[in-house]
Amino acid sequence: MNRRLSTISRKEVAKLAGVSEATVSRVLNNVGPIKEETRLRVLEAARELGYVPNALAQRFARRKSGNVGVILPFVPKVHLFSTYYFAEILSGIGEAAKACNYDLLLIFREPDSPRDYAKLFRTQKVDACIVLGAQNVAEERAALAELQEEGYPFCLVNQRFDEEGYLTVDADHESGSYTAVQHLIASGFKRIAFLNGPGAFSSSGDRLAGYERALAEAGIPLSEERIFTGNYSRKSGFEAAERMAERIKNKAIDAVFAANDRMAIGLMDGLREHGLEAGKDYGLIGYDDSDSSRIVSPKLSTVSVPFYEMGRRAAMKLLATESEEMENTILPVQLLKRETT
């Protein structure tokens, strides 16, 4: 009720409670031994004055920013990349951050600016950070290596750098891919094409491995001619249709496993222009279980990835005091059979 535009200082609380400022601090931070009666008196005074500690001063004195940084990759038209993907991961991080009393600083990478992740720590803007959409390219490796060298806590989500010992939360894309392709094979398909994502993502390697394993297990020879590469955009899926249409018509390909839903949907649309219908003229399975996969028709079979949980785990690893797990976490994924297979 006591509303004033000037800041209510700790000093006033101390005076009202008849104690020193240090004691106010102790009470508010629950540190050191405090007589219960004093504690109550201080709490009451603080409540009465509507005192809230100045986070700026606190953080400065503690030399802790209280922030966890989340680095988002630059994506030209945001929604080109899966917004679903980021929204889920971010929410998971948000939940964990809140639980650990951290604030969440959102950092949008820019196309031109260098990836100076370490600067975030040097300037004390963050105490830890989570890198989303990291790629295995020289600049990224250098930026991460610097973080590691200087001992700054960070965690990667959905991307591994196996040779380095980085803290990571990933999903089991090898098995997701394997299961998906196995499902296609079980459905009677034999000439399964693979529309993969860029090699800079570890998931691409994982999915390729799963694809190969499933084929090998079924005794289907691997053919480079059936492996395509897109960039996860709908457009790249659409364009891949041009390269596949004839081959599907002459039965050189009878099904496609795409590395994400967006490409799968672009592909569906592209092939439709060639009179080819998913689930009828060819089998199709996507990846991510994005909103779109449930909305398109025919409904897209896909692999669901626990993005929310991945974000939550990553933040927990960094922020939770008890959880000192430094091993990589790899979460399971799940095949969802719908109408295209």
Closer of 27 and 70 to its own copies (Cβ): 70
CB 252 → its own copies: shortest distance, Å?
Answer: 27
Strands 334-336 and 302-304: antiparallel
- Which of 37, 110, 324, 327 contacts its own copies by CB under 8 A? 110
Binding site for DNA (CB under 7 A): 7, 9-11, 18-23, 25-26, 28-29, 31-35, 37-39, 53-54, 57-58, 60-63
Contacts with its own copies, 246-285, as mask; x by CB under 8 A: -------------------x--------------------
C-alpha 167/C-alpha 307 separation (Å) is 17
Q: Binds 9, which of its own copies, DNA, none (CB < 5 to 8 A, cut-off by type)?
A: DNA
CB 148 → DNA: shortest distance, Å?
Answer: 23
Q: What 3-state class would DSSP assign to 285?
A: strand
C-alpha 133/C-alpha 69 separation (Å) is 14
Closer of 20 and 334 to DNA (Cβ): 20
Q: Pick the closest to residue 82 from 335, 287, 267 (CA basis).
A: 287
Q: Binds 10, which of DNA, its own copies, none (CB < 5 to 8 A, cut-off by type)?
A: DNA
C-alpha 320/C-alpha 96 separation (Å) is 8
Closer of 55 and 200 to DNA (Cβ): 55
| Burial (CB count <10 Å: 0-12, 13-18, 19+), residue 232 | buried
162 to 24, 210, 322: CA distances (angstroms): 49, 17, 25
Does position 1 bind its own copies by CB under 8 A?
A: no
C-alpha 42/C-alpha 25 separation (Å) is 10
Does position 52 bind its own copies by CB under 8 A?
A: yes
138 to 134, 163, 254: CA distances (angstroms): 11, 14, 38
Contacts with its own copies, 225-244, as mask; x by CB under 8 A: ---------x----------
Does position 38 bind its own copies by CB under 8 A?
A: no
Q: How many CB atoms lie within 10 A of CB 199?
A: 13
232 to 10, 81, 129, 258: CA distances (angstroms): 54, 7, 25, 9
- Which of 11, 47, 119, 337 contacts its own copies by CB under 8 A? 119
Cβ atoms 126, 100 nearer than 8 A = no
Does position 22 bind its own copies by CB under 8 A?
A: no
Does position 125 bind its own copies by CB under 8 A?
A: yes
Which sign, positive or negative, has the C-alpha torsion 68, 69, 72, 78?
positive
- Which of 1, 31, 37, 56 contacts its own copies by CB under 8 A? 56
Does position 103 bind its own copies by CB under 8 A?
A: yes
> Contact residues for its own copies (CB under 8 A)?
3, 5, 7, 52-57, 59-60, 63, 65, 67, 70, 78-79, 83-84, 86-88, 90-91, 94-95, 98, 103-108, 110, 119, 122-125, 149-151, 234, 265, 291-292, 295-297, 308
